[in-house]
Amino acid sequence: GWVDRAAGTVVDHPLLGWRDVPARTVLRARTGLPVHVDGHARALADGERLFGRGARGGRSALHLFAGNIVDAAFATHDEVHHGPRSQAGAIAHLPLAGGAEPCACGRTGCLQAELSERTLCRRAREAGVCDGRDPLHVVDAAAAGHPVAARLLRERARMAGRAVGLLTDVLNPESVIVTEIGVIHRPDCLAALRGELDPARAATVTPTSFPESVLAVAGGAVALDVLYRDPLSVSPERI
Ligand SMILES: [Zn+2]
């Protein structure tokens, strides 16, 4: 959801029903350790910047994350943009062309409603592909040759491509990183996403560098970014 790094709070996570949750304070009290928090898309953008394949050396990069929550991050000059209250990247309700999914906000075709893994799982359940509890089961079904599963994943990747198109029109990054389950596991999904973009832009799109460890890398990158920028700031001598 929307995480304010400076305040250490989860400002809004509609799926969990969280508002202004003081995550940093709570975790610090529980662990007795220094705690840093950030939004998932920005944390993964930092991970790419620090350890990824393509986004190093100060080049500008867009990261699109499509899980249950969908958000984006933009990095340039070795810095992920946060903006006031770390609100940058809140793209949940951008309208997607061709989207038909109703959104909690009352409109249809909002980016998050369309791309959420919950939507993928529901469609897979309705189509009899799987029980619809885990998006990886849809990927497994597609790998086992289920044509509807593969089609659902390609459709989602196409919509992700439209989202990338919207965002790159505004930000014009040198590279685009996408964390989306179909694009991570299936070349046809990556091709479907790229097919929504002009060829020059499509060539700049790659899946996440961390397909097997997205959550762990995101958490680690938040802490390591702080450490690498100012190693002495975490020294016990300074506390
Ligand atoms: Zn909406």
Residue listed under structure tokens 């202004």: 20
How far is the C-alpha of 107 from the C-alpha of 118, rounded, in Å? 17
DSSP string, 79-137: EE---GGG-TT--TT-B-TT---B-TTS-BSBHHHHH-HHHHHHHHHHTTSS-SS-HHH
50 CA distance to ligand 1 centroid (A)?
33
For the chain, which domains are there? 2-238 (3.30.420.40)
Which of 80, 91, 52, 60 has its CA nearest to residue 211? 52
Compute mean pLDDT per 10 residues along the chain, 239 residues long, and list them: 92 91 96 92 92 74 93 89 84 90 92 94 95 94 96 97 95 95 97 98 96 92 91 69
| Residue 108: predicted pLDDT | 94
Q: What's the rounded Cα separation, in Å, for the pair 239 and 122?
A: 49
- Burial pattern 126-142, b for ≥16 Cβ within 10 A else e, equals ebebbebeebebbbebb
The Å distance, Cα 141 to ligand 1 centre, comes to 30
Q: Tell me the C-alpha distance between 202 and 149, whole Å.
A: 24
pLDDT value at position 237?
A: 61
The whole-number pLDDT of residue 146 equals 95
* Spatial contact of 156 and 120, defined as CB atoms under 8 Å apart: yes
Residue 200 pLDDT = 96
pLDDT of residue 89: 75
Given this model, what pLDDT does residue 55 score? 54
111 Cα–ligand 1 center, Å: 7
Q: How far is the CA of 229 from the centre of ligand 1 (A)?
A: 37
CA of 179 to the centre of ligand 1 (A): 21
Quote the pLDDT of residue 44: 93
Residue corresponding to tokens 């928090």: 37
For residue 56, what pLDDT is reported?
61
Quick one: pLDDT at residue 57? Answer: 63
Tell me what pLDDT residue 236 has: 66
- Cα-Cα-Cα-Cα dihedral sign, residues 40, 42, 47, 48: positive
Q: Is the dihedral of CA 196, 65, 107, 86 positive or negative?
A: negative
Ion ligand 1 residue ranges (Cβ < 5 Å): 93, 103, 105, 110
